[in-house]
Amino acid sequence: MTALPFPARPASVLAQFSEIRAQLQPRAQRAVGMVRAQWLFRSCLMGWGVSAHGHVRVNNQGSMELGQKLTFMGGMLPTSITCHPDARLTLGSHCHFNYGVSLEVWDSVLIGARCMFASFVRISDRDGQRTAPIIIEDDVWVAHGAILMPGVRLGARSVVAAGSIVTQDVPPDSLAMGNPARNMSLDLVAREPGS
Amino acid sequence: MDLSLPLTQELDTLVSRLKLRRCRMVGALPTVLGRVWIHGEGEVCVGTRVVLDGRIAPIELHAQRGGRIVLEDEVTIEWGTSIEAQACVTVGARSRLGAWCKVMDNQYHPLRGDRHERPSSVPLVIEEGVRVGSRVILLPGAHLQKGASVAPGTVVSRRVPAGAAVGGWPARMIRQEVAV
């Protein structure tokens, strides 16, 4: 039996290594993220499986309640979550937060399950003039750079387009886009991207 | 490359090349100030005399597997800008991207149905001499033609004709190029 030529063996070994790494890396990152979340959210009531893949600035002086399996992504800027005294923040389970999200609570913010928040989304229930609670129902997707004004209620399964400023309530199953945001039914929005 | 540069400038170029080491191709005399975060498995190509200013916030260049980001000659990008490519993003020569821009060629989630599958991406092209203001979001399908300018805070997902100025969200035409 002839031995393999010298360069062949390291290459196959390297390929195996990269395959193993591709399998194990997400799990390892998730484990590290869960440990980091345990430390970052130590002042909050938290369900299991919360993971923070980057830095999250948490300032909790009120009451924060986190659901199960939340994901906070890391990136260019840290996500910041601020809960002022006597304020109440509730996050549903299976939510995703990209980097740079700023969530500031003075009165009450309620976020449903399976929501997605893209990078640089700003949610604050006080804008200098008034303070009013924000309610976000289940399965809402808020795209990059959107701003939610106080007193807004986002209906279930609705989508907020990138860069929109939402000043009024959004009914369920609708797309809010523009500044100020206008609502349209998702059934009518059938445009493929780029067409 | 001109070797008669002052020593400090040569050192700056060397440091900039070090910061751009993840790029597939780097042209002559790059200037990188502050931080640049280049990640993903795709390829990033950078032309000559590119200026990346990441002093206030880092610049993100994210080319995913099979994606390609091309910055042509003399492109200037300011801080906080993030370019994400799933297929191809091209920034033409002498264009300028303002601070906190977001350029992406994929919507990442479909509007309806299962939110976790990824829709198909549309190549995004910025032609030469385009001025893009700060906090502009360029969505898949955006095509800024030669000499167009985009006002700050605009969201663009369509073709902008040559020499035109657009602004607002939804975007509308502010100024059209006068025919010569």
For residue B173, the cross-strand partners are: B166
Residue B174 at interface with chain A, using a CB cutoff of 8 Å: no
Say how far apart CA A180 and CA A167 lie, in whole Å: 6
The reply to whether residue B58 touches residue A178, judged by beta carbons under 8 angstroms, is: no
Task: Report helix, strand or coil for A22.
Answer: helix
- To the nearest whole angstrom, how far is the Cα of B3 from the nearest Cα of chain A? 36
- To the nearest whole angstrom, how far is the Cα of B111 from the nearest Cα of chain A? 7
Close Cβ partners of A81 (under 8 Å, ≥ 6 residues apart) = A56, A57, A58, A59, A60, A64, A89, A103
The reply to whether residue A76 touches residue B122, judged by beta carbons under 8 angstroms, is: no
Q: What is the pLDDT of residue A2?
A: 54
Please tell me the pTM assigned to this model.
0.86
Complete domains list, chain A, with CATH: 14-188 (2.160.10.10)
DSSP 8-state code for residue A89: E
Residue B155 at interface with chain A, using a CB cutoff of 8 Å: yes
Contacts of B57 in chain A (CB under 8 A): 76-77
Dihedral, CA of residue A108, residue A112, residue A116 and residue A120, to nearest 10? 0
The reply to whether residue A116 touches residue B37, judged by beta carbons under 8 angstroms, is: no
Strands (DSSP E) contained in chain A are 45-46, 51-52, 56-60, 63-66, 71-72, 79-83, 88-91, 96-97, 102-105, 108-111, 116-117, 122-124, 134-136, 141-142, 147-148, 153-154, 159-160, 165-166, 174-177, 182-185
Q: Is the pLDDT of residue B91 over 60?
A: yes
- pLDDT tens figures, B1-40: 555 678 888 888 999 999 999 888 898 889 999 999 999 8
Residue-wise pLDDT tens for chain A (195 aa)?
555 555 556 778 888 888 888 888 888 999 999 999 999 999 888 888 899 998 999 999 999 999 999 999 988 899 999 999 999 999 999 999 999 999 999 999 999 999 999 999 999 999 889 999 999 999 999 999 999 999 999 999 999 999 999 999 999 999 999 989 999 988 777 555 444
- pLDDT tens figures, B95-130: 999 999 999 998 898 887 788 888 888 999 999 999
